[in-house]
Amino acid sequence: MPLFIKMTFKEKVKDLLGKALEENTELFLIDLSFSETNKISVVLDGDSGVNLQDCINVNRFLDNGLEGEEVEFSIEVASAGLSTPLKLVRQYKKNIGRKLKVKTISQGDLEATLTEADDEGATFSWSAREPKEIGKGKVTVEKTLKISYTDIKEAVVIISF
């Protein structure tokens, strides 16, 4: 006799979402949440960004997969906004070359260009005005700092036009 295990509603949503993202490997999940009224909120990002059609496709995939469920639900699929803090290493890697506002635990706050990102941390560079070693006045110095992800409280891309 085969063992049949019934998935919970949330497990089914997570499974379907995983399958939807397997179909488009450029996309990745930033956040998945469920409200008490079964509103499913999905936030996506992508290596090349997320467009409206990507959101529509994932929404339809989930809606079709959940058709016939005994639970009433609604689905909202959105892209991570420009002001959304970076959460995943993959997001840091896709934003190399962009200027970020970074709040750290040990270094304070800084605005710098993201120059590298690996699995341990991100490297930032910026220009700073510092007093001259000899004489009066200041000199512009190029700074570089690698910060581990565990030391980053929040990092947000700075939008420049």
Q: What is the mean pLDDT of each run of 10 residues along the chain (161 residues)?
A: 66 94 94 93 92 95 90 92 89 95 93 96 93 86 94 92 75
What tokens were used for 28? 């990745």
CB 120 within 8 A of CB 112: no
Region at 42 (left for phi over 0; alpha for psi -120 to 50; beta for the rest): beta
Sign of CA dihedral 152, 154, 91, 61: positive
**121-141 per-position pLDDT tens digit:** 999 999 988 888 888 888 888
Q: What is the C-alpha separation between 23 and 20, in angstroms, rounded?
A: 5
- What integer pLDDT is reported at residue 16 of this predicted model? 95
- What integer pLDDT is reported at residue 18 of this predicted model? 95
CB 156 within 8 A of CB 84: yes
- What integer pLDDT is reported at residue 90 of this predicted model? 94
Q: What is the C-alpha separation between 16 and 40, in angstroms, rounded?
A: 12
Q: What is the C-alpha separation between 107 and 94, in angstroms, rounded?
A: 24
